[in-house]
Amino acid sequence: MDKIEPQYKRVLLKIGGESLLGNRQYGISHEATLDVAEQIKEVHKMKVGVAVVIGAGNIFRGLSAAQAGMDRATADYMGMLATVMNSLALQDALEKIEVPTRVMTAVTMQQVAEPFIRRRAIRHMEKGRVVVLGAGTGSPFFTTDTSAALRALELGVDILLKATKVDGVYDKDPTKYPDAKKYDRLSYQEAIVKNLRVMDGEAFVMCRDNKMPMLVFNLFKKGNLKRVILGEKIGTLVSK
Over residues 102-148, the pLDDT tens digits come to 999 999 999 999 999 999 999 999 999 999 999 999 999 999 999 99
Q: Residue 178: pLDDT band by 50, 70, 90 thresholds?
A: confident
Is the pLDDT confidence value at 62 over 90?
Answer: no
Per-residue pLDDT averaged across 39-66, rounded? Answer: 92
Between 199 and 145, whose confidence is greater?
A: 145
Determine the average pLDDT of the residues in 161-169. 92
Instruction: Inform me whether the pLDDT recorded for 77 exceeds 80.
Output: yes
Query: pLDDT-based confidence at 163, cuts 50/70/90?
Result: very high
Percentage, residues of the chain above pLDDT 90: 77
- Domain ranges in the chain are 10-239
The pLDDT of 86-107, averaged and rounded, is 98
- Say how many CA atoms lie within 13 Å of 110 toward its Cβ: 1
CATH class of 10-239: alpha beta
Q: Which residue has the higher pLDDT, 163 or 1?
A: 163
- State pTM to two decimals: 0.94
Q: What percent of the chain has pLDDT over 70?
A: 99
What is the phi/psi pair of residue 140, to 5°? -70, 170
Higher pLDDT, 111 or 196: 111
In this predicted structure, what is the pLDDT of residue 188? 86
**Closest-CA residue to 91 (of 107, 106, 108, 113):** 113
The pLDDT, as a whole number, for residue 86 is 97
Confidence of residue 2 (pLDDT cuts 50, 70, 90): low
The chain-wide mean pLDDT, for the chain, equals 93
- The predicted pLDDT at position 63 comes to 72
Looking at the predicted structure, is the pLDDT value of residue 13 above 60? Answer: yes
